[in-house]
Amino acid sequence: MNKEQTDITTGKQIRHLRTQSGMTQEELAGELNVTRQALSNWERDVNEPDINTLKKICFLFGVHMDDLAKEVITKMETYEKKEKRQLSLRGCCKRPSCPALRSAVR
């Protein structure tokens, strides 16, 4: 992946879809039953829409969820892996030879 491809965020994709369809933030926010400010925050990558809202966006613009939400899905997967590691370490004795510690570090 080149630098330009990695700079494409979910927020930028939402803004692109909205502007290409000629919609204002107010119009799209109304379709999604959210505030214009919430939509603005997504487009500026301040935060991200929930999974149900992402589904609505995909339906409205006829795009696949995988294409729109790669960044969000990756963040969720990373968070889940981190949580699993932390859970596995809770009962760990934290000695370097501990099998739980070694498997969690991988």
**Per residue in 42-95, pLDDT tens?**
999 999 999 899 999 999 999 988 878 776 667 767 777 777 777 666 655 656
pLDDT of residue 7: 65
Domain with 93 in it:
69-106
Same domain, 37 and 78: no
Instruction: Give residue 68's pLDDT.
Output: 80
Contact 12, 43 (CB under 8 A): yes
What is the pTM assigned to this prediction? 0.62
For residue 99, the model assigns a pLDDT of 60
Amino acid type, 24: T
Q: How large is the average pLDDT for residues 7-35?
A: 93
37 and 56 within one domain:
yes
The pLDDT, as a whole number, for residue 15 is 95
What is the residue type of 7?
D
Q: Number of structural domains, the chain?
A: 2
